[in-house]
Each structure stands twice: as structure tokens, then as C-alpha cells.
Amino acid sequence: MTERKPRVLVVDDESGILDSLRILLRNNGFEVSVVQGGRAGLEALAQGNPDIVLTDVKMPKVTGIDILRAARERDPEMPVILMTAQAELQSAIQAVNQGAFHYVQKPFANDDLLAICRRAVEYRNLRSENRELRTEIRRRDRSTTVRPIGAARRFVEVLGLAEQVARTESTVLIQGESGTGKEVIARFIHQMSVRSDGPFVSINCGALPESLLESELFGHVKGSFTGAVRDKEGLFTAARRGTFFLDEIAEIPSSTQVKLLRVLQEREVLPVGATEAVAVDVRVIAATNRELDEEIRAGRFRSDLYYRLNVIALHLPPLRERREDIPLLAEGFLQRIAAARQITPKRLTQATFDALAVYDWPGNVRELENALERAVVLTPGDQIDVAALPERIVAPRPQPLVAERPAQNPTLDVIERAYISWVLQAEGGNKSRAAEVLGIDPSTLYRKLAKYETELPS
């Protein structure tokens, strides 16, 4: 198949130069379009898609700088070569700093011009190949994106909604207790979105004082406050064409909430000390472990900001409400820990699995991961026994299944709880034997214990 000739658009207001450039470029393997005058150049750009543009700088009404701007708006990767006389040399140099590919000074040698045009074509082809490669990598990444671990019904429902939302540009608010995996879900949404080849930037809004928080979010200009010795780009700008994850959004002070609201409404930020706003192209995902309805009623969170953030709401269940996921999560964490330490994955004994299954996990998934990492470090062999778990998991504070003074006419629930407690104590806390005595499946026993929000006796 014949290779396509590179297309070049030549713009000049002198017909003699256009004729000579047409002949020179055609004789050296280019497909050439020539137009006379800057206005005709703008029209040609709007109608065609050249590989490179060669334009004179000084033309009446519409200059070569105007052509450069129009070309970069149409395609930021389109190489533009400027032809300039000595008097406009400084303008051409400034234009190169603004994105022009190169400039040639009149009168120029034909070989020099051809060499620059060929380099521009190579640059264009390389950028195109890189873009195609990034697209292919993104496609592969999407097909191999690791889904967050979990099979519990409530968690699967949240994950399905997250996957559906990922294909949109909507703002997402993720709510859930600390350690439930809110950032994991945010990263999953980013990886599944059209912004996956852009950055994923995150910040914990409660980790910085108000003055530093605004500078981190919005940036600042030199001299705007003591210590601002240079301009600083904010994280909203750094996350351009990507996703910005605002963790612990309820910790943002009221004054900063107002500025954040403007960003969501206007899609622009005003750096600290600046007078001109900067446009931002970013998808926002926020998260909190607080009930924002209560924060609004208490006057600590703006209702208008809440409605801007709460376009799509995801509620992550705590680990104690998805106990069937504990074995899956444990196996996943053990694989990850082993890979990081370059060791063979260790296995949990049945007694260890049992202990993990009935603990309440106030720190949720994060606490489970930390407990397993500790257990891996403390276990010399390949099997992790109960003794390697933290004491709070092995021997949690007992919580009575029934009150010390039961009601005069106890309900069926109270009687069931008392009977389960008696059997568990009689069997020394062994769940399997207790389930046999009770005549129920062990999973049913776990569900009843979760319902009663209790621990197994040790």
C-alpha cells in the first residue's frame, strides 16, 4: 500500500512565495495546500486537517500568531512553523515559547526549510503514535482493572452503581465509616472512566489547617502571604483531565466551603492572592465518614455545597454488615502482602478464620488489612494461627447477649439470645459445635450474632 504523503498548509500574503513553496514542497514528497492571507488560512484550518502548518508571521488583519492560536485550538499537537523577517524575529521566538514548533528567518535556504518540515512531520507522527498507545493502554487497563473485593449483596450493589457512574462526568459523594474503602472505590471509578489516562489526585481535607488547605486546593500567587515566594499550582489544576478525590469533605471550614462551591458551579478556581480565575477540567469525587444531614442541621456544612456534591451518592456498608466478605478480603490481603514482601502467601487456620469472622471490626477493612500484615510478620511458618492476631480480636471485651435483669415477660428474641449464649459458653466458644447443638448452620449462627451485635465468648 502506498504511504500517504504528509499534508502541509502554507499561508502567506505574497503569491510569489506561495508559488515557490508549492513547487519546493511538492517536489520533495509533500501534499501541499496554499492560501493567500491570514483570513483564508483560518478558513482552510476550519475546513481541513493538515499535518503541519507553514505560515508567515506578518500579514494584515490576521497574523501568523492568529493562525498559530487557531491551529492549537483545533489540535494542540499540530506543528506550526513560522516564517519571519528580521524585524519580527522576537515575535517568532515568543511564539515558539507559546507552542509554535519552529521558525525560519527570511530569506531561508530550501534545505533548511525542508529539514524543519520533515522534523515537524516526524514529531506529528510520534505524537500520534503515543496517543494511540495511550488509548490502547487505557483500553487494556479497563479490561484488567481489578474490582474491589466483595460478594456481599449490599457491597455488590454499591460496586455496580460505581461502575455505572464511572461512565459519566457526574460528581460522586461516597459515605461510609472510616476504613470501609472509600478511596478504593474512588480509584475504581477513576480507572473505569474516560479520564483513566489522566491523574488521580487525592487530599485529606482534615489533615491541613485552613490557610494551607486553600493554598493546596486552589494554589497561590507569589507574595500572597508570608512564605509564598513563588506561584504554586493548586491540586484542582494539577488534576486536570483527571479525577480529584476530596476525602473527609466534612472537615472543610465554612470559608473554604464557599470557594469550593464556586469551583463546582463555575468550573474555575481563584488562586489565593490572584485576581483572575483559572479554568479547571476535573471530575470531583468526595467522601466523608460523617452524616452530612446532621452536619447541615448543626450549621457546620453548607446545604448548597452538599447538593452540589451529592449528585450520585454511594453508601459503603461497614465490614460487620458484610461478614461473608471477610474470607475473600483476607485471602486478597495475604496475596498482596506476600507480593510486596516477595514471599509465598501464608494461609489462615480455621480457628483464625473463625476469630476474624466474629470480630466486629470497628476499623473496618483497613483494620483487617493491618491485622493480617501484623500476623504475617509475626508468623515464621506458612500457617497463621490465632495467636498471631491482635489481642482485641482474639479476646474481645465480652458483651452480654442478655441483660443482667431480664424482663419479667421476655420476648422470643431475648430467649433466643439467652439460649445461644448458654450453648456457646457450654461449648467453650466453639462455633461449629455450638451450631450443631443449636441445630442450625454455622452461617446462620454468625448472622444471628451479627443481628445481636455481640461477640462470641472466648
pLDDT score for 170: 92
- Does a structural domain hold residue 457? no
Res. 135: pLDDT tops 70: no
Strands 312-315 and 282-288: unpaired
Res. 449: pLDDT tops 80: no
Band of pLDDT at residue 249, cut at 50, 70 and 90: very high
The CATH code of the domain that includes 194 is 3.40.50.300
- Of 2-16, 288-302, 316-330, least confident by mean pLDDT is 2-16
Three-point CA angle 292, 295, 299, nearest 5°? 140
Neighbour-count burial for 343-361, b at 16+ CB within 10 Å, e otherwise: eeebebeeebebbbbbbbb
pLDDT score for 107: 85
Does 313 share its domain with 324? no
Question: How many angstroms separate the CA atoms of 323 and 365, rounded?
Answer: 11
Does 211 share its domain with 313? yes
For 171-302, where are the alpha helices, taking DSSP H only?
Answer: 182-192, 210-218, 235-238, 254-266, 292-297
Other CB atoms within 10 A of residue 362 CB: 13
pLDDT in tens, 174-217: 999 999 999 999 999 999 998 988 999 999 998 888 778 888 88
- Does a structural domain hold residue 244? yes
Torsion angle defined by CA atoms of residues 14, 19, 25 and 30, in that order, rounded to the nearest 10 degrees? 100
Cα-to-chain-centroid distance, residue 5:
40
Question: How many angstroms separate the CA atoms of 37 and 13, rounded?
Answer: 4
Does 158 share its domain with 52? no
Mean pLDDT of the chain: 85
At residue 332, what is the residue type? Answer: G
More reliable by pLDDT, 243 or 443: 243
pLDDT in tens, 229-239: 677 888 998 89
For residue 123, the surrounding DSSP H or E stretch is: helix 110-144
Among 81, 97, 129, give the residue marking a domain's end. 129
Alpha-carbon distances of 316 from 22, 345, 424, rounded to whole Å: 65, 28, 31
pLDDT score for 74: 83
Does 264 share its domain with 203? yes
Question: Are the C-beta atoms of residues 205 and 213 closer than 8 Å to each other?
Answer: yes
Band of pLDDT at residue 454, cut at 50, 70 and 90: very low
- Does a structural domain hold residue 416? no
pLDDT in tens, 351-380: 898 889 889 899 999 999 999 999 999 999
Task: Determine phi and psi for 367, rounding to 5 degrees.
Answer: -65, -40
Cα-to-chain-centroid distance, residue 209:
24
pLDDT score for 434: 79
Provide the residue range defining the domain that includes 179.
153-317
pLDDT score for 161: 94
Does 335 share its domain with 256? no
The CATH code of the domain that includes 21 is 3.40.50.2300
Question: How many angstroms separate the CA atoms of 284 and 246, rounded?
Answer: 7
- Does a structural domain hold residue 117? yes
Res. 403: pLDDT tops 60: no
Question: How many angstroms separate the CA atoms of 282 and 256, rounded?
Answer: 18
Band of pLDDT at residue 425, cut at 50, 70 and 90: confident
Among 394, 424, 450, give the residue marking a domain's end. 394
Does 311 share its domain with 355? no
Question: How many angstroms separate the CA atoms of 325 and 238, rounded?
Answer: 36
pTM above 0.75, yes or no: no
pLDDT score for 407: 47
Does 169 share its domain with 297? yes
Task: Determine phi and psi for 150, rounding to 5 degrees.
Answer: 160, 140
pLDDT in tens, 55-76: 998 898 899 889 998 888 888 7
Q: What is the mean pLDDT of residues 436-445?
A: 76
- Does a structural domain hold residue 236? yes
Q: What is the mean pLDDT of residues 414-421?
A: 78
Q: What is the mean pLDDT of residues 403-408?
A: 49
Question: How many angstroms separate the CA atoms of 25 and 11, rounded?
Answer: 13
Question: Are the C-beta atoms of residues 41 and 57 closer than 8 Å to each other?
Answer: no
Cα-to-chain-centroid distance, residue 232:
21
Res. 171: pLDDT tops 80: yes
pLDDT score for 441: 73
Question: Are the C-beta atoms of residues 301 and 295 closer than 8 Å to each other?
Answer: yes
- Does a structural domain hold residue 455? no
The count of domains in the chain is 3
- Does a structural domain hold residue 195? yes
Among 299, 317, 335, give the residue marking a domain's end. 317
Question: Are the C-beta atoms of residues 5 and 30 closer than 8 Å to each other?
Answer: yes
Q: What whole-number percentage of the chain has pLDDT above 70?
A: 87
